[in-house]
Chains A and B, each alone.
Chain A
Amino acid sequence: MTDLTHLSLADARAGLADKQFSASELTDAYLSAIEAANPHLNAYIAITGDRAREMAAASDVKLAAGQGGALEGVPLGIKDLFATKGFHTQAASHVLDSFKPEYESTVTSQLWRDGAVMLGKLNMDEFAMGSSNETSYYGPVVSPFRAEGSNLDLVPGGSSGGSAAAVSAWLCAGATATDTGGSIRQPAAFTGTVGIKPTYGRCSRWGVVAFASSLDQAGPIARTVEDAAILLRSMAGFDPKDSTSADLAVPDFAAAVERGVKGLVIGIPREYRMEGMPDEIEQLWQQGIAWLTDAGATVRDISLPHTKYALPAYYIVAPAEASSNLARYDGVKYGLRETGKDITDLYELSRAKGFGREVKRRIMIGTYVLSAGYYDAYYVKAQQVRTLIKRDFEDAYNEGVDAILTPATPSAAFAIGDQEMQADPVKMYLNDVFTVTVNMAGLPGIAVPAGKDASGLPLGLQLIGKPFDEETLFAAARTIERAAATDFSPKRWW
């Protein structure tokens, strides 16, 4: 029998239903793979083997009785940002040391409701702040990909770097992730996996550690478009506990995957052609256009004039919201506590020690732009620019565009410890230049692997959709996946 961990989620689900193997066998296969790989990749920061075996055994009982849920017996990895009752939940931060929530996030509770099995908690950038998974208190995740002929460790992208690496390296059948500025789509693009950030409001934020509340959205990372569609259906849905949760029915996303793109109008925004962008990215984009055209879509050049202002506006809005959200980590209610001579001292020392450099930098920026005298010049202005960014998309959609095709990232994965990015925070931020617009406008966006660069590293394309039209994204992404017909699995070196 082939290695069970190499099955797609859809095939694993079918194999479980047909009793070709049991949920316990599948879970054990993943746990063995994690044990062998994790010392090299550092994708998991907590492995919940006992819990996984318990859940798998319960799934086997249900499967035997023919009562399996939509994900019955499917082993998943969970980003450390999701609250899992009684299990490690620290947003990969020192400040949340030993925190074990007394409650379960809505998204994960829905996955367990549908029968999924939890393998463990996945590494990430601290508080989801980063594009390389290097800001984690638990150390960087190492990408399962290496450039051909090189032994250099590469980043898997971030912030959902653990999720992307684990999915790509067959350490789970699929993973939860979150995306505030590109944190699902950029790591998916770097690791040859599929990641979708659904429309703001599609997945409940309840029980997801907050970074920037008006931008945060949960979504899956998976090995195929179909797998991502299956996972999103279980993750999504109205939740009265999240005041911005959308009270809309959740479509059967998987049913839309093979729908095709015939008759669709795909917009190609000229502003996404960046100065200094590698030729490989431009060629990939042109290839994507050709594939969609061949499949019956019409391509139209469009303009999204405020694109270049999305990233600067984001670096006001996101830190501002983060500085408020992260005020709760005070050394009193949970996590790390330093001794201080008075309460202010206790706060300042606990936070200085508990937060990493990138998180502190962003809290400082957020505090500054919200402080007296600067609020209008920075925060209000950024929110006005955000209105303009959203209007650009609305104009395109009102003129008949069904979805928008762009590159997912301006480059392939880079090395861990990249000197230029370490020296200049803005260089790191530019990783999200193509993805951040989507968060600013609350739209759905999917990254799908589409090609490789000269050294064999995966490159992804992004499709941006209308609000709550994830189905069109799955159909278009599947068209690209089918046309690319490329094996995006890493060559195992670990």
Chain B
Amino acid sequence: MSVDAATVKRIGRLARIRVEADEVETYRNELNTILGFVAQLDEVDVTGVEPMTSVTPMALRRREDKVTDGGYAAQIVANAPLTEDNFFMVPKVVE
């Protein structure tokens, strides 16, 4: 499988990374090089093989369903580029 220019632009949109017109060809070449490399996996017969979901045999731990953390909004927004009253500020989303 290989990607074309339209696919590069579509991936950029999905990834929320602006791809400028003069970058499309470079991305296309690089992504195709990588996809060509990973295509080796086609040689492997994986019939009936479980996909790995956990690298070590472990069950996710459970805990009591209660609030154990929080209550420090000022710290949460401390590194934000733009805030007001402990809210993150963004351009208008809903008209």
Contact B58 A201 (CB under 8 A): yes
Contact B91 A214 (CB under 8 A): no
Contact B11 A380 (CB under 8 A): no
- A200-B56, A349-B18, A381-B41 known; A387 and B49 CB under 8 Å? yes
Number of contacts between A and B (CB, 8 Å)? 165
Contact A309 B44 (CB under 8 A): yes
Which residues of the partner chain A approach B18 to less than 8 Å between Cβ atoms?
348-349, 351-352
Contact A351 B17 (CB under 8 A): yes
Q: Which of A220-228, A259-267, A355-363 forms part of the interface with chain B?
A: A355-363
Q: Is A94 an interface residue (CB 8 A)?
A: no
The answer for the CA separation of A352 and B19 in the assembled complex, in Å, is 7
Q: Is A283 an interface residue (CB 8 A)?
A: no
- A388-B46, A442-B55 known; A364 and B40 CB under 8 Å? no
Contact A348 B16 (CB under 8 A): yes
Q: Which residue of A lies closest to B10 (CB)?
A: A371
The answer for the CA separation of A424 and B32 in the assembled complex, in Å, is 11
The answer for the CA separation of A336 and B82 in the assembled complex, in Å, is 11
The answer for the CA separation of A214 and B55 in the assembled complex, in Å, is 7
Over the window 18-62 of chain B, the binary record of Cβ atoms lying under 8 Å from chain A Cβ atoms (1 yes, 0 no) is 111000000100110111011111011010011111111010110
In-complex Cβ contact of A323 among B15, B39, B92 (8 A): B15
Contact A199 B56 (CB under 8 A): yes
Q: Which 6 residue pairs are nearest across A and B when measured between Cβ atoms?
A: A442-B55, A383-B51, A337-B81, A334-B79, A352-B18, A384-B46
In-complex Cβ contact of B51 among A308, A380, A424 (8 A): A380
Interface residues of B (CB under 8 A from A): 1, 3, 7-8, 11-20, 27, 30-31, 33-35, 37-41, 43-44, 46, 49-56, 58, 60-61, 63, 72, 75-76, 78-82, 88, 90-93
Contact A467 B56 (CB under 8 A): yes
Over the window 336-358 of chain A, the binary record of Cβ atoms lying under 8 Å from chain B Cβ atoms (1 yes, 0 no) is 11001111111111011001000
Contact A355 B17 (CB under 8 A): yes
Q: Which of A26-34, A150-158, A325-333, A479-487 forms part of the interface with chain B?
A: A325-333
Over the window 221-256 of chain A, the binary record of Cβ atoms lying under 8 Å from chain B Cβ atoms (1 yes, 0 no) is 000000000000000000010011011000000000
Q: Which of A171-179, A285-293, A310-318, A446-454 forms part of the interface with chain B?
A: A310-318
A-B pairs with beta carbons under 8 Å apart, 15 shown: A100-B79, A200-B56, A240-B63, A243-B60, A246-B58, A309-B43, A315-B38, A323-B15, A333-B80, A348-B13, A348-B17, A352-B18, A365-B31, A367-B14, A386-B51
Question: B79 to nearest A CB, angstroms?
Answer: 4
Q: Is A488 an interface residue (CB 8 A)?
A: no
Q: Which residue of A lies closest to B39 (CB)?
A: A312
Contact B56 A333 (CB under 8 A): no
Contact B49 A371 (CB under 8 A): no
- A333-B88, A368-B3 known; A361 and B31 CB under 8 Å? yes
Q: Is A36 an interface residue (CB 8 A)?
A: no
Query: Known contacts A365-B34, A382-B41; can you find 11 more A-B pairs with CB under 8 A?
Result: A102-B75, A309-B44, A336-B81, A343-B90, A343-B93, A348-B13, A381-B44, A383-B52, A384-B50, A425-B33, A441-B55
Q: Which residue of A lies closest to B48 (CB)?
A: A384
Which residues of the partner chain A approach B81 to less than 8 Å between Cβ atoms?
331-332, 334-337
Question: B6 to nearest A CB, angstroms?
Answer: 13
Contact B55 A315 (CB under 8 A): no
| A contact residues, total (Cβ < 8 Å) | 75
Question: B10 to nearest A CB, angstroms?
Answer: 8
Contact A363 B17 (CB under 8 A): yes
In-complex Cβ contact of A426 among B33, B50, B88, B91 (8 A): B33
Contact B52 A386 (CB under 8 A): yes
Q: Which residue of A lies closest to B57 (CB)?
A: A467
Which residues of the partner chain B approach A10 to less than 8 Å between Cβ atoms?
none
Q: Is A378 an interface residue (CB 8 A)?
A: yes
Q: Is A70 an interface residue (CB 8 A)?
A: no
Contact A335 B60 (CB under 8 A): no
Q: Is A6 an interface residue (CB 8 A)?
A: no
The answer for the CA separation of A334 and B88 in the assembled complex, in Å, is 10
- A332-B90, A384-B46 known; A364 and B31 CB under 8 Å? yes
Which residues of the partner chain B approach A247 to less than 8 Å between Cβ atoms?
61
Which residues of the partner chain B approach A99 to less than 8 Å between Cβ atoms?
79
Among B11, B14, B41, B72: residue with most chain A CB under 10 A: B41
Question: A198 to nearest B CB, angstroms?
Answer: 12
The answer for the CA separation of A200 and B57 in the assembled complex, in Å, is 11
Q: Which residue of B lies closest to A351 (CB)?
A: B17
The answer for the CA separation of A244 and B56 in the assembled complex, in Å, is 9
Q: Is A62 an interface residue (CB 8 A)?
A: no
Contact A309 B41 (CB under 8 A): yes
The answer for the CA separation of A49 and B34 in the assembled complex, in Å, is 43
Contact B58 A244 (CB under 8 A): yes
Q: Is A65 an interface residue (CB 8 A)?
A: no
The answer for the CA separation of A312 and B46 in the assembled complex, in Å, is 15
Contact A332 B33 (CB under 8 A): no
